[in-house]
Every structure is written in structure tokens, then in C-alpha cells.
Amino acid sequence: MTDLSMPTLVAPWTFPILFLTGLVAGFVDSIAGGGGLITLPVWLALGIPPQIALGTNKLQATFGSFSAAWHYTNSKLVSLRQCTRGIIFTAIGATAGTLVVQQLDPAFLKRFIPILLLAIIIYLTLRPRLGDKDIHPRMSEKWFYLITGLGLGFYDGFLGPGTGSFWTVALMLGLGFNLTKATGYTKVMNVASNVSSLLFFALAGKVLYGAGLTMGIGQLIGARIGSGMVVARGTKFIRPIFITMVLAITLKLLFDVYRK
């Protein structure tokens, strides 16, 4: 099935709202991640069933991550040759996560992930100079991309919230990247996991293409604007937005877990 057999799920009058939502989410996500906090509630508020909302959200998110990754690469902030191994392992991990989440309940992770995100906030607060400049890597690229690519790719396919934050911090700690560079490489890895997950949602008929493409166009434009500001302004511009988005993701996950 495709969205052609589900034409009433999204009313035409909502399309301008979807575009504007994508524009804002793409801008925020290209800088600090967390765009899903903006987009997914909109799908659910429109009455879209959760599985279809997740699949359609992957479609629009792919536009944003690709737009940001493209700009970061063209700006020479990211070398695709350097992160090819990471792209491959992330795609493999995301594929596995997407398959596993269809068989298991991710509820146990929802209680654990906020703790990790809170740890990120505390660590970045105590280390205000982290990411100011490149430092000596603590791991070889080979092992870093194998472990982190499979692990975070799996997590993104299985659950997802905070993936960009985990990637950014992992790149700073593992490969010694500055925050601006880590943000660029994070978007490339997001493309890999988004495309892999999207493929399986599409094969299962869980994507609304018209609505997803509408929000995706907004994502593409917003991500282009946001990534341009990152390249131009650097770490001092990213850090407060990054910490704010990590905090927002943490609070959202805690609310989801303990509201019942």
C-alpha cells in the first residue's frame, strides 16, 4: 500500500502548515538535531496512525539531513571519502534497528535514553571548551565508525530521539572533532540512517508521499539556511542551540515515560 490508497489522512488545507513545520524543523535540525520534536507531534496531531507518522517523518527528515549534509560537504567541512566507512556501518545498523523494532517494544530504551542525554548536558556544561577546536583522536577511524556506526545506526532505526546529539558528542570525544565539524559529519550519518529506515517503511506501505514531500521541501530549505549559518558562525553559535535541543529532547522523553 501507498498513500494513494489513504487520500483522506491528510487534508489539503494542512499542506502549508506542513511546509512551514518542515522549514523550522530543518533549520533547527541542521544546527543541533532534534527536528523530530517539531515534526512528529504535527503528524500525530493530524490524526496520522503512529507507524505511518514515523514512516512519513523519515521521508521528510531525509530531505533535511541531505540538504544539510550537501552544504557541509560543499563547504569542505565534511570529507565524504573520510566517512565512507561510517556511512556504510550506519546504514547497516539502521536497517537492523528498523527490522528489530517491528518485533520488540522499545519501551525499555525510553527509560534509559533520558539518563544518557542528561549526562551529555552535564558533561558539556562542565566542559565548556569541548569542541572549540580539533584535538587528538582517542580512537582510530576504522574502529570508531564500526562501533559507533552500527550502534547509533541501530538506535536510530529502533527508536531515534537524540541520535544527532549522540553522534555529535561521539565524534568530538572519539575522533577529536570540533563542534562545527562534528555537526557536519553528524548530518551525513543522519542521511545514511534515514534513507535505510525509509526504505523499509516504504516497502511496508507506511509513508504518505504527498504530505511527506511537502514537509520535506520545507526541510530542505530550512536545513540549507541553518547549515549555512553553522559554517559562517561556528562553535559559539552552535553550542547554546545544541544544549537547548538536547534538554528539550530529554524533557520530552521523560514526559512520555512518566506521564502515565
Per-domain residue ranges for the chain?
12-258
Rg (CA), the chain: 17
Count of residues for the chain? 260
User: How confident is the model at residue 109, as a pLDDT?
Assistant: 72
pLDDT of residue 7: 43
Provide the residue type at 162 as one letter. Answer: G
Asked whether residue 1 carries a pLDDT value surpassing 50, the answer given is no
Q: What residues contact residue 56 under an 8 Å CB cut-off, 6+ apart?
A: 43, 48, 206, 207, 208, 211, 212
Residue 175 DSSP one-character state:
S
Dihedral class, residue 79 (left if φ above 0, else alpha if ψ from -120 to 50, else beta): beta
Minimal CA–CA distance to 179: which of 219, 94, 113, 120?
Answer: 120
Q: Is the per-residue pLDDT at 17 higher than 80? A: yes
pLDDT tens, residue by residue, 81-118: 999 999 999 999 999 988 887 777 777 777 778 888 88
Alpha-carbon gap, residue 177 to 67, rounded angstroms: 21
Q: Work out the end-to-end distance of the chain between its first and last CA atoms, rounded to an integer number of angstroms.
A: 34
pLDDT the model gives residue 44: 87
Return the percentage of the chain with pLDDT > 70, whole number.
96
pLDDT of 247 higher than 80: yes
Q: Which spans in 75-134 are helix H?
A: 84-101, 107-126
Cell of 101: 523494532
| Overall average pLDDT of the 49-60 stretch | 89
Amino acid 260: pLDDT: 60
What is the structure's pLDDT at 127? Answer: 85
Q: What is the mean pLDDT of the chain?
A: 89
* pLDDT tens for each residue of 169-226: 999 999 999 999 999 999 999 999 999 999 988 998 989 999 999 999 999 999 999 9
